[in-house]
Amino acid sequence: MIKKHKVIFQPSGSRGEVEDGKTILEAAQSLGVDIEALCGNKKVCGKCKVRIEEGYFEKDNIESGMAHLSPLSEAEKKHIKPEDGPGIRLSCTAEIHGDVKVFVPERSRAGKQVVRKAAKELTIKLDPAVKKYNVALAKPSLHDMTTGDWERVLTSLEENYGLKGLTFDYLVLKDLQDILRKGEWNATATVWMDKEIIKVEPGFVEASYGLAVDIGTTTCVGYLTDLNTGKVVNTESIMNPQVPYGEDVMSRITYAMSNPGVGLETMQKAIIAGLNEIIERVVLEIKNDGPHPGYVIDDLTIVFNTAMHHIFLGLNPEYIGRSPFIPAVQSSLDIKARDLGLKINPASYIHVLPIEAGFVGADNVGVLIAEEPYNQDEMVLIIDIGTNGELLMGNRTKVCSTSCATGPAFEGAQIKFGMRAAPGAIETVEIDPETKEPRYKVIGKADWHTHIAEVKAKGLCGSGIIGVVAEMFKAGIIDKSGRFVMDLGTPRVRKDADGKPEYVLAWAAETSIGHDITITQGDVRALQLAKGALYAGAKLMMKRLGITKLDRVILAGAFGSHIDKVASMTLGMFPDCPIDMVYAVGNAAGDGSRMALLNRGKRIEANEKARWVEFVEIATDPAFEKEFMQAMHIPHMKDKFPNLKALLEKQKSPVEIKA
């Protein structure tokens, strides 16, 4: 019998067993983990580096003389450099002889995650915090020798642009003399908030860039923006490099607390390095005479949840993780890029958007200022679905916010064949109510340079999971309570080895993994828990606001624009609403970050509205448990869904819905 070993891949979380002697690359391919291997396993490109997190270095293995991986090959000795750090192996070469945990660095990932946080066009008045001003200076002479270089710049900015009382960043002062002379007394000053000069360049410079950042628990994205046009000129995203320290917010807070003095710093360094990687990549095609590539970026706005906010800033997240959940700071912050080690113009400021409360972060403030419920008469519910779910509800009279512990099911985690929105992920599903036969769509080419003609299914991403469970309900495969209906006369509904029911979405032959892709009873339960939390949260907020119906529902989040709104209403992620009043807006948190980059008034608005919004603590509400239990049903145990009923009748679904 061939020995098998457990292998876990990070940050995707994919895990499985592989036969002894397989390479890490082979294991990765069999588990649907994409690793870049440009040379086709010829051991020459060195692109498939991975870091061994556990197994290889365990003390007991070394002592027992048993290594979990084959010894370092000559090819590895050639390609692996000291600066790669410890534990690095070439995945095409290292053979598995024991259980291992493998981290695939961003650079080694081939099938890059599809950027579902792509930027949409925003309509906003351009009034960025950072502006460039060209000045022609008085040239010094023996008749004009008592005016310093700095004073010449200040005088010219005041005379030509009415900018008074400006200060200089010390770093700008350091190079000022040479720059003015290089430009022959013609220069361009970059001014922050009409207050401080953060850059002086020789001659006339027009191009002006800012970066709007959205740090998610799982995914981080940066939108490089032309501050003269407001257009996004490039977008880059990475997996949050904090994932190895905890997949969700609470486990990262725990990591910080259980590793005092190092845990917080480690995670802060990881996210700063990750953001620097985004910066480096996003400016790749921008012409730059500065000392480093990111130097062209003069402004950066950033949103994240409260825990990511604290960790990013090196603030102890302990107190937001325990009662009474007090954050270190709520207001927006302007911090010098150099104080955070971010490799943009070191004299520029990082604008951190304000947070609302211990559980409702700057990302939700981003959603708030992007969607502006406070400017509307209609009663709106905004659901921001990420690793956590955040809700905003209200209109110009009052807006409430809350946070729901949905868990990461909507992102494909905790789902048997769940995966990120990467090539091979099933993203939409339809099931014939008669035959119970499915049709599905798989995410295809990830990147223009990976020429994949056809992509076979590998798993399901978030939108696929919502879609398939909603379709299973509509087709009568599961009932209102989420239980499987057996004996439907189809081999697709069956029991697994443990006797638990499952639905076969794709037969092994259709997949790239050699297994059937199934939806299990556990998967359905995970989704019910997640959507139940959102629904119960919404119900309690409606109660708080004294309303019984919603005028509008906005779905936001990483996969917000890909979510099927009928599927999500069928599932009961939110109370009934006319379907043409349900909108998917995509990454609204990122939109808020971009708006704060483009319009300084939005920064003031963010601070004001973050204080104005009323935080509703639902977890401690005595009514929560009952609401949650009822909301676990599909779409709900008791509530009426007249709009949904009409819709499903039109679709000829056999399912009955209360109206």
> Which of 86/324 has CB closer to a copy of itself?
324
Q: Residue 278: which residues within 8 A CB-CB, separation 6 or more?
A: 211, 213, 220, 221, 222, 236, 237, 238
Q: Shortest Cβ distance from residue 81 to a copy of itself (Å)?
A: 27
> Which of 232/315 has CB closer to a copy of itself?
315
Q: Shortest Cβ distance from residue 610 to a copy of itself (Å)?
A: 10
> Which of 21/260 has CB closer to a copy of itself?
260
In the chain the first and final C-alpha atoms are separated, in Å, by: 59
Backbone angles phi, psi at 439, to 5 degrees: -125, 140
Q: Which of residues 151-190 bind a copy of itself (CB under 8 A)?
A: 151, 168, 170-171, 173-174, 176-178
> Which of 26/617 has CB closer to a copy of itself?
617
What is the rounded distance in angstroms from the CA atom of residue 20 to the CA atom of residue 31? 15
Stretch that binds a copy of itself, among 71-79, 91-99, 140-148, 584-592 (CB under 8 A): 140-148
The site map against a copy of itself for 86-125 (x = CB under 8 A) is: ----------------------------------------
Among 64, 146, 397, 548, binds a copy of itself (CB under 8 A): 146
Q: Which of residues 592-621 bind a copy of itself (CB under 8 A)?
A: 615, 617, 620
Stretch that binds a copy of itself, among 26-34, 146-154, 189-197, 437-445 (CB under 8 A): 146-154
Which of 363, 561, 577, 534 is closest to 462 using CA atoms? Answer: 561
Among 1, 2, 145, 453, binds a copy of itself (CB under 8 A): 145
Cα–chain center distance at 294: 22
Which of 411, 467, 405 is closest to 628 using CA atoms? Answer: 405
Q: Shortest Cβ distance from residue 132 to a copy of itself (Å)?
A: 21
Q: Shortest Cβ distance from residue 379 to a copy of itself (Å)?
A: 23
Q: Shortest Cβ distance from residue 343 to a copy of itself (Å)?
A: 17
136 SS3 class: strand
What is the rounded distance in angstroms from the CA atom of residue 587 to the CA atom of residue 232? 14
How many residues belong to the site for a copy of itself (CB under 8 A)?
Answer: 46
Report residue 630 as tokens.
């009822």
> Which of 615/624 has CB closer to a copy of itself?
615
Stretch that binds a copy of itself, among 247-255, 312-320, 369-377, 384-392 (CB under 8 A): 312-320
Partners of residue 389 on adjacent β-strands: 385, 404
Q: Shortest Cβ distance from residue 266 to a copy of itself (Å)?
A: 16
Among 16, 140, 433, 476, binds a copy of itself (CB under 8 A): 140
What is the rounded distance in angstroms from the CA atom of residue 585 to the CA atom of residue 517? 30
Residue 13 near residue 247 (C-beta atoms within 8 A): yes
Report residue 439 as tokens.
């049709």
Q: Shortest Cβ distance from residue 173 to a copy of itself (Å)?
A: 6
Stretch that binds a copy of itself, among 275-283, 355-363, 434-442, 474-482 (CB under 8 A): 355-363
> Which of 321/575 has CB closer to a copy of itself?
321
Position 41, amino acid: N
Question: Is residue 142 near a copy of itself by the rule CB under 8 A?
Answer: yes
Q: Shortest Cβ distance from residue 361 to a copy of itself (Å)?
A: 12
| Residue 530: its H or E element | helix 521-545
Strand runs labelled E in 47-179: 49-54, 88-90, 100-103, 130-136, 167-168
Cα–chain center distance at 177: 43
> Which of 171/405 has CB closer to a copy of itself?
171
Backbone angles phi, psi at 313, to 5 degrees: -90, 0
Q: Shortest Cβ distance from residue 312 to a copy of itself (Å)?
A: 12
Q: Shortest Cβ distance from residue 198 to a copy of itself (Å)?
A: 14
> Which of 159/339 has CB closer to a copy of itself?
339
Question: Is residue 201 near a copy of itself by the rule CB under 8 A?
Answer: no
Among 64, 123, 258, 323, binds a copy of itself (CB under 8 A): 323
> Which of 49/609 has CB closer to a copy of itself?
609
Q: Shortest Cβ distance from residue 202 to a copy of itself (Å)?
A: 15
Among 3, 17, 127, 147, binds a copy of itself (CB under 8 A): 147
Residue 485 near residue 477 (C-beta atoms within 8 A): yes
Sequence length of the chain is: 659
Residue 199 near residue 189 (C-beta atoms within 8 A): yes
Other Cβ atoms within 10 Å of 624 Cβ, number: 17
Partners of residue 394 on adjacent β-strands: 380, 399
> Which of 57/150 has CB closer to a copy of itself?
150
Residue 408 near residue 218 (C-beta atoms within 8 A): yes
> Which of 174/626 has CB closer to a copy of itself?
174
Q: Shortest Cβ distance from residue 244 to a copy of itself (Å)?
A: 24
Q: Residue 84: which residues within 8 A CB-CB, separation 6 or more?
A: 49
What is the rounded distance in angstroms from the CA atom of residue 571 to the CA atom of residue 569? 5
Question: Is residue 357 near a copy of itself by the rule CB under 8 A?
Answer: yes
Q: Which of residues 617-646 bind a copy of itself (CB under 8 A)?
A: 617, 620
Partners of residue 188 on adjacent β-strands: 134, 201
Q: Shortest Cβ distance from residue 354 to a copy of itself (Å)?
A: 9
The site map against a copy of itself for 324-353 (x = CB under 8 A) is: xxxxxxxx-x-xx--xx-------------
What is the rounded distance in angstroms from the CA atom of residue 509 to the CA atom of residue 428? 19
Which of 251, 225, 228 is closest to 240 using CA atoms? Answer: 251
Q: Shortest Cβ distance from residue 315 to a copy of itself (Å)?
A: 6
Stretch that binds a copy of itself, among 10-18, 216-224, 311-319, 450-458 (CB under 8 A): 311-319
Residue 86, by phi and psi: left (phi above 0), alpha (psi -120 to 50) or beta? beta
| Residue found by looking up tokens 């990070």 in the block | 10
> Which of 8/307 has CB closer to a copy of itself?
307
Which of 365, 422, 477, 372 is closest to 219 using CA atoms? Answer: 422
Residue 555 near residue 583 (C-beta atoms within 8 A): yes
Q: Shortest Cβ distance from residue 83 to a copy of itself (Å)?
A: 24
Residue ranges that bind a copy of itself, judged by CB under 8 A:
140-142, 144-151, 168, 170-171, 173-174, 176-178, 313-316, 318-319, 323-331, 333, 335-336, 339-340, 355-358, 615, 617, 620
